[in-house]
Amino acid sequence: MTYFPVKDFVGNGALKGILPKLLKEGWDNVRNLKLMRSEDMDAINMTQQQKDALEMRSYLYDRALMQYGDKLEDSGKSLAKLLELSNNDLSAQLGMKRGHIASTCHLKAT
Per-residue pLDDT of the chain (110 residues; tens, 9 = 90+): 567 899 999 999 999 999 999 999 999 999 999 999 999 999 999 999 999 999 999 999 998 899 999 999 999 999 999 888 888 999 999 999 988 887 665 545 44
**Residue type for position 88:** N
HEC string for 31-97:
HHHHCCCHHHHHHCCCCHHHHHHHHHHHHHHHCCCHHHHHHHHHCCCCHHHHHHCCHHHHHHHHCCC
Burial class (CB in 10 A: 0-12, 13-18, 19+), 63: middle
pTM of the model: 0.87
The size of the chain, in residues, is 110
The Cα diameter of the chain in Å comes to: 41
